[in-house]
Structure 1
Amino acid sequence: MPLVEHLRELRDRMLRSIVVVLVIFIGLYFFSGEMYLILVKPLNALLPDAENGALIATGVASPFLVPLKLAFVMSVLVAMPYILHQVWGFIAPALYKHERRLAIPLFISSVFLFYAGVAFVYFVVLPLVFGFFTGSGPEGVNIMPDITNVLDFCLKMFFSFGLAFEIPIATFLLVRAGMVSAKSLGEKRPYIFISCFVLGMLLTPPDVISQSILAVPMYALFEVGLLMSRFLPSVTPDATSEE
């Protein structure tokens, strides 16, 4: 297709994605209050006055903006498979058959891994991190977290772990693209191990527990991606003649 047709198709696919996100957002907004209570449940369970509401809102518009922000982010997360489907539909005509066969499992795996990272944060990381923070404060200090700070903290953790869980896909693609070999990556294991802890320090709160909780799965996922790149069959140059 000519360039103008490509731009039109890109516009149409972007508009479809935006419409889907907005439709989901409208539906989720009516339940944004309940979603926020579910989000902060790991923290509320640790606060002494949870039954009467231990969270506070320091901003005038926070009670309105925080659920609004949560509903929007959740609508994007829910619509992510459709958004990736639109991305796939746009780039698929430019790929060869062998590339399409490889791209479809990678897209499905990337969505699954991202959601797995989000679930790992909610069910494992947040209870541990909140338990550490609420139990390490000085005696006599009343813990009353602000709802905006709690939401921002949770979203940061969700996206940090969601992206970190994409490491197997990134490792596999780097090897398959020829940018680096599986053997050279294996020889750099000590540096990658240290890099995982450095990233954990940058992406998580300043405590050893949350840093380790992110760094250890990151390194394990790197090993999974390295294993995939070694054992899955490589694409031969002759396959590029397929259309």
Structure 2
Amino acid sequence: MSSGTRPAGTGRLVTGVAWALLLLGLWLWGREVTEGPGGSSAPTHGDIAAVGRPLGVALPPAHAPLAPAEPRRVEVPSLGIAAPIVARGLDGTGAIDPPPFSMPHTVGWFGAGTQPGAAGAALLVGHVDTDTRPAVFYGLSAARPGAKVRVTRTDGTVAEFTVDDVQVFPREDFDATRVYGRREPGRAELRLITCGGTFDRTDGTYSANVVVSAYLTGAGTTATGT
């Protein structure tokens, strides 16, 4: 998130995401973002009482990682999300620079990190709302384990991910390794991140971040092959 002043009327200052992604910039100095901890994908932090992964939800086996290719579009059919993706880098503070508020229905991808479908954890970020209406990830907290996330890539493939868990990370209990790191070695994983919790109108901040984790379970091709 840029540290500059936001023009009036262009959208809320989603400081919750800015703060979380600033931690990513700092964390990258210490370890590769695609190299997360191994072991179970069961949640260890976050508000799993509200969302998380219910017991007894059967999830499909992981698909082998795909060759790297940049993402073009993301769809979450169960939530009605269908949006273009643009690559974003880091701003002057070391945080991911998300799409501008003038593009509230566009998703940002951390272009210096993993490409969705390739081995590692790819990061997609989006605004939750603006001053006047919901934005692209407004309904993200309603995602549930087993839901499908489809990412159309520049090589004509569609990487299909299955949601593993949904967590809400309060600012005071944000686990950067858990959010950004790979859950299981060798998997292609995806994180969808937006603001959550409550919005403080006094200081313009959200109290938490919603993090949807998914992993690659299938691959196909677009209708046009482009």
Q: TM-score range by the shorter chain?
A: under 0.3
Q: Point out the structure with the larger strand share.
A: 2
Structure ID, larger Rg: 1
Superposition TM-score, scaled by structure 1 size: 0.21
Larger relative contact order (C-alpha < 8 A, sep ≥ 6)? 2
Q: Point out the structure with the larger helix share.
A: 1
